[in-house]
Chain A
Amino acid sequence: MLRYLGQRLLEAAVVLLAMSFLIYLLLGLMPGDPIDLLASGDPNITSADLARLKAVYGLDRPLLERYGHWLRGALAGDFGYSRLYALPVTELMAPRLGNTALLMGLSFVLALLLALPAGVLAAVRQRSWLDYGLNLFAFAGISLPSFWLALLLILLFAVTLGWLPAGGVHAVGDDSLGNRALHLVLPVLTLTLLTIGGVLRFTRGAMLEALRQDYIRTARAKGLGPWGVVVGHALRNAMIPVVTILALNFGSLFSGALIVEQMFAYQGMGKMIYDAILGNDFNLALVGLLFATLLTLLSNLGADVVYAWLDPRISYAD
């Protein structure tokens, strides 16, 4: 198992290296650079100034040379400066990483706690009113655009009712736990509602498939109670495809948080990457996107490990 994990981590490192090159290339090949954008907003800036600034920021050098320079720095732990915020990229990312982890973690756990039992219930009570109701809820969650749901919740809970803050991580001058928690409610609720639908539908589908298997009939014939069969036999087997979806979902939750973070002015990674790409902040965008890649790779590795735990037939032993 350890060797397997080591091998997968090595593969992940190679993928990250390749991705860093690819992303750097794509960002560098995009038309315009930060200095061009500066020129469009400054009537006084001269052509000589533009040329000088491009040289100062190294933007006049070939792309490959710039990548080599960045990579050498990154391997030594220096990921460069953000042009948008004039701070070291790592210093900028740390608090945002924490914010997004909190937002994602909470909404992910909440979505699982609600969607897994709901999916199981919908499968066990197939074609009942409960099933129809849960399906309706799931489809609503899947089809609602995230920005619209966010706006709706802001209008309802912040503008109309005035119960919750409309956005931000905490109130200015009050970063107490309670205040932070209050600011998390709406973004977490939005992300949870958006995530539940998919997980519920997959769980229901996988459970229906599992409940039709021969070993379920055998378990029932052995005299196990209905919930004993569902929890002890069907659920565990149904979880394998669900875990795959969850692992993929975890990665997409990261990018899905982009719109939610944007709407709630929540200082997280998704918003940071978005701003960085729009603002031609190469270093920040690159490191943010690499982190998203790393997260997807790790969540898939985690899913593989969970498979082995769920199904003893899957083994990564040498």
Chain B
Amino acid sequence: MGRLFALTMAAAALLGLALPGAGAAGAAQAEARNELVIGITQFPSTLHPNIDSMVAKSYVLGMAQRPFTAYDQDWQLACFLCTGLPTFENGRAVREPLPEGVEGHGERDGVALTYTIQPGATWGDGTPVSTDDVLFTYEVGKHPDSGISNAELYRRILGIDAIDEKTFVVHADRITFDYNGLGDFRVLPAHLERAIFEADPSTYRNRTRFNTDPTNPGLWFGPYRVSEVVSGSHIALEANPTWWGTPPHFRRIVVKVVENTAALEANLLSGAIDMIAGELGLTLDQALAFEQRHGDQFRVHYQPGLLYEHIEVNLDNPILADLRVRKALMLGLDREAMSQQLFQGRQPVADTKVSPLDWVYDDDVTKYHEDLAAAAALLDGAGWSDIRNGIRHNAAGEPLQLELMTTAGNRTRELVEQVLQSQWRRLGIDVRIRNEPARVFFGQTLDERRFTGLAMFAWSSMPEHVPRTILHSEEIPTAANNWAGQNYAGYVNPEVDQLIDAIEIELDRDKREAMWHRLQEIYAEELPGLPLYFRADAHIWPKWLDGIRPTGHMFPSTLWVEQWGAGTG
């Protein structure tokens, strides 16, 4: 699309009408810069904090609400709506036996966690954020028909006791390493939502004020509150007078949705928007092309993150079940050159699924650099030694042929696919490309393990995310378990299962780090997936905008929106 955009620009110039860019002066100047217009490519399906998980929604809610706990810009768990994290050391986390009737009773302990809500936290209509809101949120979360996306958290909470208006105790059924994080527990305003929920919990997801009355100030307590919602078009937010923290710089922020990225780029150039959010903006190749053409007018920041682009291997395929073939595939690739040439080195090469930015990352794992001789030797050893017409065959005369799939229409992936195909061809591996639309690929082919060989896609993740659903042997989708789980490779390793189980409940950081290192070592050695690279988000900002610090993980940069400001650039 970047090339198309350049071509179109050239056509516009050829028409003889290319005059100095008058549009660039538009919204970018932003009338004394007290308004900021952000362009993104997706409209949130709902603004309800606990229904549906979408990047667009997280981005907007980062400005209008705050989670109890989240990972900060340094990837450490931190309190946002609470005053401090409960820990065993500070006495606000206390082991307690599980009550009778609860699974695990007599076998393990639960934990009581005491949280205090920020004293100044107040809904936009002046009602204080209180423990009543917390109890109501719990009631909604544990109701099976409420449509809450991630109910696991609510299942793990056995009960919540309100101590006073601002302090409450959460009783959880297990002690995990991230025991003091409240993750997806996003507080709801009981004074506005309780009556709607209690009237009919099963239709609450449609009748909630977050959908029917989203500009009600009482729904928001962040630095901004939602002031206008035009479905599919834009969401406007204005500074919230009840915000307890540092007052934000901008009087108003508009999040404008332009789904077509070429049109999004044109909107930026015309001044209709001031910046493009990296969380939901241009693809990397578009951003690189944009930087070449307009790098003097804008700042382009590339933030490597947790999106792990890799190739899933179907281990039921006898060719790929042979570790020597998987290693040969890795050694046949020049991923450094690929990253350099396709992404100008902006997307770091991956060794395992753990990002180098994560504290549990292990730099000492097996690293696969291009080594065609070693790869050929491995393939010879695996029985693929007879080369005919450039393709390897085994003793039975079968060709070394693999199918490679990815999401059709994703230009970057299709480009990478072409490179992979040609690099593996050098080894005598015949790779056949068969792509599918994303909904078919994710909705059926992966879910039901219908891919026969290789499938390229990305896993989203979070800091220190335990890969239970991806690598644990109990998570292999089968017809018998109704295709539940995401271990699409069909990978089984009892040691990995044990490590996953142990990491989840190990509180000692050093011990946990050692286990994480072992897990990465096994991953790099056994290659249940072929690592490619970690995707980077491209943030495009006007030169005058200061203070944005993207995280690279799933918590958006808008959680620190009050630190954004208009500088002198």
Contacts and interface: CB of A to CB of B under 8 A. Distances in A.
Interface residues of B, number: 81
A234 B469 CA distance: 73
B266 A154 contact: yes
Given A46-B152, A155-B266, A267 B230 contact: yes
A151 B444 contact: no
Contacts of B267: 158, 166-167, 265
Contacts, number: 208
A37 B23 contact: no
A76 B228 CA distance: 32
Interface in A145-186: 147-148, 150-152, 154-156, 158-163, 165-169, 172-173
B260 A92 contact: no
A172 B144 CA distance: 39
A53 B206 contact: no
Interface stretch (B165-173, B414-422, B454-462, B555-563): B454-462
B272 interface: yes
A267 B231 CA distance: 8
A265 B145 contact: no
Given A49-B150, A166-B266, A169-B233, A43 B462 contact: yes
Interface string A270-310: 01100100111000000000000000000000000000000
Contacts of B462: 43-44
Name the residue in A30, A40, A48, A279 with the highest tally of chain B Cβ atoms < 10 Å from its Cβ.
A40
B272 A166 contact: yes
A7 to B, nearest CB: 39
Interface of A: 30-33, 36-53, 56-57, 81, 83-88, 92, 147-148, 150-152, 154-156, 158-163, 165-169, 172-173, 262-265, 267, 271-272, 275, 278-280
B152 A51 contact: no
Contact of B232 (A85, A154, A166): A85
B447 A36 contact: yes
Interface string B431-465: 00000000110111101000000000001111001
A161 to B, nearest CB: 6
A74 to B, nearest CB: 17
Contacts of A275: 232, 259
A31 B147 contact: no
Nearest to B48: A86
B499 interface: no
Nearest to A172: B254
A150 B262 CA distance: 11
B270 interface: yes
B481 A172 contact: no
B266 A159 contact: yes
B232 A47 contact: no
Interface string B110-147: 00000000000000000000000000000000001101
Contact of B234 (A45, A47, A172): A172
Given A41-B54, A84-B45, A33 B443 contact: yes
A275 B44 CA distance: 12
B22 interface: yes
